């Protein structure tokens, strides 16, 4: 049986669907009880668990579907994080997709991020069925380190296909220097190419 450690919680996690995901729960195993395992969850999930159990009681359900797995490593956020990396690439791509009639950006960075996530679903990025039954990518806020890496790699390939530049950082110098790269070239390689393009160099 899952146990809480007191405290409140946010029941909105399961308001619209019978289901709950707890990123990490402590294992409580009683060797004297065969074929049984329990979990102790963080207190912020208490209200959501109570709501889920109440939904099961109302439907006269005495079982729950259980999926076991190792805890996911949450994506990094903040400056120079995975989230910053992905969102920066989306802004780069948006800046280069120009509408011919207005000569302005055809898509904003958020629209690019949504498109990258849709493409990433085919490469293992998680998805869910929307209210209309259409598959949609899972919220990036729930992405793990590995799933965020998939998003970044999709941006890299999309940019390579369209010969777009992306902003990366040269970490060989302190502080790291941002530079625009095409095809994953290093800052040194990009500078050599620019130098060769200058007459007389």
Nearest Cα residue to 120 out of 167, 92, 86, 91:
86
30 and 36 in contact (C-beta within 8 Å)?
A: yes
pTM above 0.75, yes or no: no
At 158 the pLDDT is: 97
Q: Are residues 86 and 63 in the same domain?
A: no
What pLDDT digit, counting tens, does each position of 44-72 carry? 889 888 998 998 999 999 988 888 877 77
What residues make up the domain containing 159?
Answer: 82-197
Rounded to 5 degrees, φ, ψ at 182 are -120, 130
Give the pLDDT band of residue 174 (cuts 50, 70, 90). Answer: very high
The pLDDT of residue 17 is above 80:
no
Q: Of 70, 101, 129, which one is at a domain's C-terminal end?
A: 70
Residue 201: C-alpha distances to residues 93, 162, 181, 192, 196 (Å): 30, 28, 21, 10, 6
Residue 133 placed within a domain: yes
- 64 and 103 both lie in a single domain: no
Residues 95 and 181 reside in one and the same domain? yes
């Amino acid at each position: 049986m899952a146990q809480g450690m007191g405290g409140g919680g946010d029941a909105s996690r399961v308001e619209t669907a019978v289901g709950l995901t707890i990123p990490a729960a402590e294992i409580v195993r009683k060797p004297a009880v065969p074929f049984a395992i329990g979990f102790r969850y963080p207190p912020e999930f208490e209200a959501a668990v109570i709501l889920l159990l109440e939904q099961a009681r109302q439907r006269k359900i005495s079982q729950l579907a259980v999926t076991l797995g190792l805890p996911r490593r949450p994506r990094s956020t903040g400056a120079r994080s995975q989230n910053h990396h992905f969102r920066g690439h989306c802004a780069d791509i948006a800046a280069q997709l120009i509408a011919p009639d207005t000569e302005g950006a055809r898509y904003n960075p958020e629209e690019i991020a949504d498109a990258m996530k849709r493409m990433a679903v085919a490469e293992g990025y998680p998805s869910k069925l929307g209210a209309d039954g259409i598959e949609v990518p899972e919220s990036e806020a729930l992405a793990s380190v590995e799933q965020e890496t998939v998003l970044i790699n999709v941006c890299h390939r999309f940019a390579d296909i369209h010969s777009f530049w992306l902003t990366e950082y040269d970490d060989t110098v302190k502080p790291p220097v941002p530079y625009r790269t095409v095809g994953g070239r290093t800052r040194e390689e990009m500078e050599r190419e620019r130098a060769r393009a200058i007459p007389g160099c």
